[in-house]
Amino acid sequence: MRLTTLRLPGRTAAARVDGDRAVELAGYADVGEVLRRGALADVATAPGPDHDLAGADLAPVVTAPGKIVCVGLNYRNHILEMGRELPEYPTLFTKYPDALIGPRDDIQVPPESEKIDWEAELAVVIGHTVRRARGEEARAAVAGYTVLNDVTMRDWQYRTPQWFQGKSWENSTPVGPVFVTPDELAEDAVMTTEVDGEEVQRTPINDLVHDVPALVEYVSTIFTLRPGDIIATGTPGGVGHARKPPRYLQPGQTLTTRIEGIGELVNRAVAEELT
């Protein structure tokens, strides 16, 4: 099953994706609410108003997750290009919901940063409340997946050993375009990033050092994971910061992030207008 979240006049609404149509799901403001109410089975065939998906204004699939937990240095080829050793434990940081934008929204380029990088990521969406999940419980806690780009202000990230301040700028992190249940996604689906049509990242999503169940186990040991929470699983090689010379996202450029079986984010970088 494939779900999305529509922006409609004065509100948002979850919708089921049927081909090129989005069937609005009455009573659910976003995909997160579907999960929090345990209603995935209920919405699989629910009728509702029909919308053209291609012309729809799409919000982040989960508009206000309680937690956005991100994993750094989790793809082997990215770890090697950054000159680091494979980590024994996941490297974790967080984002706030204010960072999230829709799959076709503009990325706001802040005037304070000159080193803005792309980081394609597979994002896990939690479907069940779990604490200290192990084995099959951790796997079953995953409701599905979406696409996320962890757009990073590198000059702020490396001001200190803590990465958070380079990772959670407002209106910087596209997520979407849809949420897919696990049966929709191949284990070796290919993830790519393009900048103005030039491919800069390409890696199968199973090149993870710490796989999805292991991440759910680890994160849920620290705190309770709840429906609608997001875990971004890390980026593969090809980031701009590791290139020689480095390359960074510039206003006017278009960032396209794609995972086979889910879909693509298409986001233009624009200079933030200060008020």
Tokens representing 259?
């995972």
Rounded-to-integer distance, Cα 13 and Cα 15, Å: 6
3-state secondary structure 72-85: ECCEHHHHHHCCCC
Tokens representing 80?
């090697």
- Predicted confidence at residue 210, as pLDDT, reads 96
- Predicted confidence at residue 78, as pLDDT, reads 83
- Predicted confidence at residue 165, as pLDDT, reads 96
What are the residue boundaries of the structural domains of the chain, listed by start? Answer: 1-59, 62-271
Q: Could you count the other beta carbons within 10 Å of the beta carbon of residue 224?
A: 15
Residues in the chain predicted with pLDDT less than 70, given as ranges, are none
Rounded-to-integer distance, Cα 210 and Cα 140, Å: 17
Q: Tell which CATH architecture fits domain 62-271.
A: Alpha-Beta Complex (3.90)
Beta bridge partners of 194: 199, 256
Return the amino acid letter for 117: D
Burial class (CB in 10 A: 0-12, 13-18, 19+), 86: exposed
- Predicted confidence at residue 86, as pLDDT, reads 80
- Predicted confidence at residue 160, as pLDDT, reads 96
First to last CA, the chain: 41
The 10s digit of each residue's pLDDT in 111-161 is: 999 999 999 999 999 999 999 999 999 999 999 999 999 999 999 999 999
- Predicted confidence at residue 106, as pLDDT, reads 98
- Predicted confidence at residue 224, as pLDDT, reads 98
